[in-house]
Structure 1
Amino acid sequence: MPFELKHVFASLPQMERGVAKVIGGDPKGKNFLYTNGKSVIIRNIENPLIADVFTEHAHTVNVAKYAPSGFYIASGDASGKVKIWDTTQKEHLIKYEYTPLSGKILDMAWTEDSKRLAVVGDGREKFAAVFLWDSGSSVGELSGHSKTINSVDIRPKRPYRAATGSDDTTALFYEGPPFKYKCSLPEHSQFVNCVRFSPDGSYFATAGSDGQIYLYDGQKGELVRSLGGDKAHKGGIYALSWSADSSQLISASGDKTVKLWDAEAGSAVTTFTLGSDVNDLQLGCLWQNNHMLSISLSGHINYLDKNSPDRPIRVLQGHYKSIQCLTVHKGDGRSYIYSGSHDGHIACWDSETGQCEGLSGKGHTNQVSRMMVNNSHELVSCSMDDTVRFTSATTKEYSAGDVVKMDFQPKCVSVADGGLSLAICIGQVVLLKDKRKVFTLDKLGFEPEVGALHPGGATAAVGDTEGVIHLYSVSGDSLTPSTQLKVTAEVTDLGFSPDGAFLAALDCSKALTVFTVADGYSIKGQYYGHHAKPVVLSWSPDSEHVATGGMDTNVFVWEVSDPDKRIKIPDSHRLYHVSGLAWIDANTLVTTSHDANIKLWTIKY
């Protein structure tokens, strides 16, 4: 194969304030899994850089759980569909598919023999179903609730028992199989968000928006005790997870803490304080082997250690909203990837380790549309908040002073030698020098879409909606029109090669056109392959190859000297179009998409 997927820098879980996030654990103890949009993300708990993505759902996936055998995963989506798929093969072949509910599925649980599956959520006819995994045949009824069921669990030992928690403020207890209603547990005064049996089946715990945790007998469903006296947490509790030996459990709360409880004593052993910001609300947790994980509203995954209650020993950062653009910067002997997302967040990734950190300070407040790194090692980014920002790639800290306010929303930014930047705004072209506006072109007579500066800074190219590329000479602090080039449709991206020899243009007619600069911008070649609109291009560092990505989810790597030589990466991001491309070196390409994942590809010519 001329290409190979090297790494997936996985998206974070998609979070919503006040909504619990279920994290699934691998029974073998190696992986954990969660959902983002239509994707299920599987990550290695020791080395989260090892990640895999399942993309076969057509609707938002809310929960995924491993079968106790470890061979299959069941995932449930917003349409009520459950897919049961293979974990052992890279292809993740779907074994069975059912639609047990007519609305969104919020939680699920397997019996310990991996033969029965209970699913709960919000349906028109019913809120829960329990069925055989290989036939879909019902094995009882989880009835009795009057509102959405948020959580379900099944006792992992025989005789089987099931428990559910609902927005009707009750938890219910069932015997089976076939499962049937045994009793109601009315202790909570607000929504019941989570129910979980201990691994040995002796207890199950319920947690609610009232800040209470109650412990019940796992076989009889009788109340044993409440944890923490009057209240377990000051805020609502969204998730519970037991230790492997069933003696302790952790709880995640909206009071921005995670607590470690002694089940027998009913008291908190450790309180982990995760911050003071609204983004530090804790909405999910998992205890797997020696690892205790919690998920913040920000999507950050915190690795907790009872010896370090005030700070996680590790935090997995990244994006959970769609990524709009990316660029690469080489500094201190390493390559870093910068990615900007729909919510204004910019993340910096070490391309070797996958370690990610967000830029510190107050940054963009809306979608980051485009960014590049200039010769001064500054990240130049433009956003729908009507600003162009200059941020040090060394300190990775936003500067309040290095922000240029635009008159109109910027769509694209480009950089060149001499401290030059070019911003393409709605109806305007703005030249910046040393972080200041020095020249503005308006009343253009055309609508500019994208722009590119020649690396030497002598020429600016601006592509419009009519398929015309307007070339300007950059002289002093001004732009002077010089010539025009024509392509067949609206220009979607432009880029000069790193050596300045070529100008590449993408357009809506699915064509890549490369012009030779020294030869009066004569056409070097035209390249066709996309079957939907291509939207982004990136030159390789050796100026011999151009990568393009489009609405068809495909990526092409073109050899400039030979239009017939191309490498196609089909379905690079299966669910969404390619939104960003960048090269780390001549053989390593980075792609991103609205799935919030970043992929590194090894390219072999």
Structure 2
Amino acid sequence: VEKVFASLPQVERGVSKIIGGDPKGNNFLYTNGKCVVIRNIDNPAIADIYTEHAHQVVVAKYAPSGFYIASGDVSGKLRIWDTTQREHLLKYEYQPFAGKIKDLAWTEDSKRIAVVGEGREKFGAVFLWDSGSSVGEITGHNKVINSVDIKQTRPYRLATGSDDNCAAFFEGPPFKFKFTISDHTRFVNCVRFSPDGNRFATASADGQIFVYDGKTGEKVCVLGGGKAHDGGIYAISWSPDSSQLLSASGDKTAKIWDVGANSIVSTFNMGSNVLDQQLGCLWQKDHLLTISLSGYINYLDKNNPNKPLRVIKGHSKSIQCLTVHKNGGKSYIYSGSNDENDGFSGKGHTNQVSRMAVDEMDQLVTCSMDDTVRYTNLSKRDYSGQDAVKMDVQPKCLAVGPGGYTVVLCIGQIVLMKDKKKCFAIDDLGYEPEAVAIHPGGGTAAVGGADGNVRLYSIQGTSLKNDDKSLEAKGPVTDLAYSHDGAFLAVCDANKVVTVFSVTDGYAEHNVFYGHHAKIVCIAWSPDNEHFASGGMDMMVYVWTVSDPETRVKIPDAHRLHHVSGLAWLDEHTLVTTSHDASVKEWSISY
């Protein structure tokens, strides 16, 4: 794999999002779905994705040694895995309690781990990393524990924060409950010790931040003298020198505090939209990061609090489709999902995008579950409203051809469009259309049906005519594509087979390709017209040679634990894949 385009953090309103830091200072960590995403903090385009959890992951943190990462999921599983190798080998797996893990912390020697969350009979555990044997008890709360931290200097101390509006203070090891701190009036969302261990701070939904002595737990001050923010505070992070604190709030701001002087150093206004609420933050070396409810990752600029240095955008929901477009010699990858993203200005589809293609006029044509077909001008990169065409029923697939034609498959209906206008529709099909392709020379549209047949239609002026010619696939058709030279039509089906028909021989069956272990969902031809790729529910991608079904390149586990949802070629040796894991991957193929 050449490149991985990672997904954004998965966030939900009113819930803190933890960003994990790297003790070496190079990377940061967050979770999306079943994935842990590791990104380079200086160049976030460099990313790695860990996909071995069977359930949604909530939190991931590096051990202070930097050699291991511990990640916890909604089922209560904690996995500890290697960071030094590409394979991320699993070292240990534990189930400290049954229920969602919400936070975890390591001791500075990387030997003990505290885990907290929503257990049934207990809300936390602290144990040795290599044996799982207990090194204390996390007691003192009667509701979900949201946050935990351990003082990184001896003598060890541990602090927790809970939905019971309290924080708790522990001494150890073995860790024993010392006392409850009831200064907050709402949920305690985050507790963090300063790196030097002299202080710890608690942040709450009541908009307050309290600071305590790290060794004794005695209250030192309340930041700002009262409320630190106008909204709930979801996360705090100390500066490396322990003198300042970064806070992230639902009031759509982040603030830097001088803790010793108890004063605000800067206030970062992140916007006025509800999606600009700040749910997470990380202060690492000179980088100040926050996470917005939009999923965007913001790099704050101390010198200009009203404009971040940079904002990382992308997909945070599963990707359904993609296409590739060459523009001025450069290839651009467009991927479709149902989240807002960055490449375009204006209003896009309001629901999941199911199919996309680029036509001769450099327009990205997309159809979506919001019942529209949209034409987006790629040179302007603008979602313009006048180019959204409403369909009678939900569209699920489309193909573009020369001459301004688009054929759209809706549920139980085929629609022909020319120059962005509907000009013809066929109802009463007698079968359910699933996939469509237009011959590169124009004139013919091939429509694959759920009944296992491909029917050919000719495009004549402003009408579509059924040619009464049908080709048999080996099962319900899931996708089909013409080679770029128009010589072959490849059809993939739910019975795990790809059938290739020779267009020049009157669509005679040319070859059949077996190899997938589950339903094949997408297919794409290489620009060389001799190879094509198929992706399936078996998480596999195969690259086939049209003249020889035995010669194939196999990409196993292309997107681990998530099936492949889209394929496209950048050039004869570069394939791009997308998946429901919300990532886009670029592969180098050699035969």
* TM-score tier (shorter): over 0.9
2:430 matches 1:445: yes
Aligned to 1:377: 362
2:254 matches 1:258: yes
Are the equivalent residues in 2 in contact too, given 1:344–1:383 (CA < 8 A)? no
Aligned to 1:141: 137
SS of equivalent to 2:504: helix
In 1: Cα distance, 2:366 partner to 2:71 partner: 38
Are the equivalent residues in 2 in contact too, given 1:326–1:370 (CA < 8 A)? yes
Which blocks of at least 5 consecutive residues in structure 1 are unaligned?
348-356
Residue 358 (structure 1) shift: 3.7
Q: CA RMSD in A?
A: 0.9
1:31-110 superposed matches below 5 A: 31-110=27-106
Are the equivalent residues in 2 in contact too, given 1:344–1:363 (CA < 8 A)? no
Aligned to 2:379: 394
SS of equivalent to 2:403: coil
Aligned to 1:539: 525
In 2: Cα distance, 1:20 partner to 1:395 partner: 37
Aligned to 1:530: 516
1:206-285 superposed matches below 5 A: 206-285=202-281
2:577 matches 1:581: no
Aligned to 2:447: 462
SS of equivalent to 2:169: strand
Aligned to 1:354: none
Q: TM-score, normalised by structure 1?
A: 0.97
SS of equivalent to 1:579: strand
User: What letter matches 2:283 in structure 1?
Assistant: W
- Once structures 1 and 2 are overlaid, which stretch shifts more, 415-424 or 493-502? 493-502
Which blocks of at least 5 consecutive residues in structure 2 are unaligned?
none
User: What letter matches 1:155 in structure 2?
Assistant: K
2:581 matches 1:595: yes
User: What letter matches 1:201 in structure 2?
Assistant: G
2:410 matches 1:415: no
Residue 166 (structure 1) shift: 0.3
Aligned to 1:353: none
User: What letter matches 2:4 in structure 1?
Assistant: V
Give the one of 491, 515, 523 matched to 1:505.
491
Residue 369 (structure 1) shift: 0.3
1:146-165 superposed matches below 5 A: 146-165=142-161
After superposition, the C-alpha distances for 1:446-487 in whole angstroms (9 at most, x for unaligned) are 111111111222101111111111101111011111111111
2:337 matches 1:362: no
Are the equivalent residues in 1 in contact too, given 2:474–2:499 (CA < 8 A)? no
User: What letter matches 2:421 in structure 1?
Assistant: R
After superposition, the C-alpha distances for 1:204-250 in whole angstroms (9 at most, x for unaligned) are 01000011111110001011011112211111100011111001110
1:186-205 superposed matches below 5 A: 186-205=182-201
2:319 matches 1:323: yes
Aligned to 1:521: 507
In 2: Cα distance, 1:416 partner to 1:307 partner: 51
Q: TM-score, normalised by structure 2?
A: 0.99
Are the equivalent residues in 2 in contact too, given 1:259–1:268 (CA < 8 A)? yes
2:120 matches 1:124: yes
Q: Runs (4+) of structure 1 moved beyond 6 Å?
A: none
Count of residue pairs brought into register by the alignment: 590
Are the equivalent residues in 2 in contact too, given 1:415–1:455 (CA < 8 A)? no
In 2: Cα distance, 1:575 partner to 1:258 partner: 36
User: What letter matches 2:451 in structure 1?
Assistant: E
After superposition, the C-alpha distances for 1:474-508 in whole angstroms (9 at most, x for unaligned) are 11011111111111210000111111111110011
Aligned to 1:26: 22
Give the one of 430, 433, 449 matched to 2:415.
430
Are the equivalent residues in 2 in contact too, given 1:455–1:500 (CA < 8 A)? yes
In 1: Cα distance, 2:339 partner to 2:96 partner: 38
2:536 matches 1:550: yes
In 1: Cα distance, 2:417 partner to 2:241 partner: 63
Are the equivalent residues in 1 in contact too, given 2:36–2:49 (CA < 8 A)? yes
Aligned to 2:462: 477
SS of equivalent to 2:538: coil
Are the equivalent residues in 1 in contact too, given 2:315–2:339 (CA < 8 A)? no
In 1: Cα distance, 2:246 partner to 2:485 partner: 56
In 2: Cα distance, 1:52 partner to 1:450 partner: 33
Identity among equivalent pairs (%): 67
In 2: Cα distance, 1:192 partner to 1:582 partner: 47
In 2: Cα distance, 1:330 partner to 1:291 partner: 35
After superposition, the C-alpha distances for 1:362-390 in whole angstroms (9 at most, x for unaligned) are 11111100001111111100000110000
SS of equivalent to 1:519: coil
In 2: Cα distance, 1:427 partner to 1:344 partner: 27
Are the equivalent residues in 1 in contact too, given 2:193–2:214 (CA < 8 A)? yes
In 2: Cα distance, 1:97 partner to 1:506 partner: 39
In 2: Cα distance, 1:460 partner to 1:66 partner: 53
In 2: Cα distance, 1:514 partner to 1:384 partner: 30
2:566 matches 1:570: no
After superposition, the C-alpha distances for 1:246-265 in whole angstroms (9 at most, x for unaligned) are 01110111011110111111
Are the equivalent residues in 1 in contact too, given 2:316–2:339 (CA < 8 A)? no
Are the equivalent residues in 1 in contact too, given 2:77–2:93 (CA < 8 A)? yes
Residue 86 (structure 1) shift: 0.8
